[in-house]
Structure 1
Amino acid sequence: MRRNGFISLTGLMLALGLLLLYLGLGLTAGQRSRSHQAVDGLAREMALDMQQVRQRCVGNNQSNGRWKLVLEEKRYVLQEGYIRVKERPYPPGLQVTKGDVHFAVDGRPQHTMAVVITSPDGAYTRSIVVAAQTGRIRIA
């Protein structure tokens, strides 16, 4: 019984090609999901810290920037006056809008009303939006 070597070589090459295709798709999806998780995690933590700043301004009846969230190039800082209460560095490669987030006594934002967090490749973004009239903080 004779076998055709061309058919077995073609089948082997086809199987190897499919394996490489699946591995390639799996590796890029894994990288993408890690950067998405970093963006989502930072957005949730930053929104919670914004809510804390808002609660302190409303609850303590203090505005004019006493409690604020300072968005710097490589990290954000939660401040009470000049005292740094919390510093949180950004995950590597993420781009975040710079500015200060602080609230009036009635809970409305005074300066920055939106923060945009972007993944390193720029394909995935999350926005933290503060409503101008109510001060409600949401992640979009």
Structure 2
Amino acid sequence: MGGSMREERAPETYSISLSVASGFEFVELAETVTATLARLTGFDEETAMWISMAVREAVINAIKHGNKEDRQKRVEIQYAFNHDGLSICVRDQGSGFDLSQVPNPLDPENLLKPTGRGIFYMKAFMDEVDIWSSPGGGTTVRLRKRIRPRSP
């Protein structure tokens, strides 16, 4: 039998973590880091912008709703990336919430409200959004975006 077998290896994954106080001045830092990592991962400029917008929403929610703007509480942002895509986890130190109680922003009574679309936007911009929240245990939002092969 001729030929050779190539060993398939899992892609090398890199990670970066940020830990910031619950202040809105850190939102732009998270956006900038996210956009930079998205471009390094191989996403185009427009996709990098949408990914950074999803992270912006998650960080704002962590600061405002999770940590209640308590600067003693941290927002942890963890990035994992490889040639397949980018995964971002945003964690707060808040009291958690019941996801089933989040109003649908598309319901007629919510359409004109100026807030309440963060989770909706995250789901629109990313391939996967997972949210874990428990009373007293804070909330973790995991956002994932896969790299799609470019069209010829």
Give TM class, smaller chain: 0.3 to 0.5
Give the number of the structure with larger relative contact order, counting CA–CA contacts within 8 Å between residues 6 or more apart. Answer: 2
TM-score (norm. length: structure 2): 0.31
Larger radius of gyration: 1
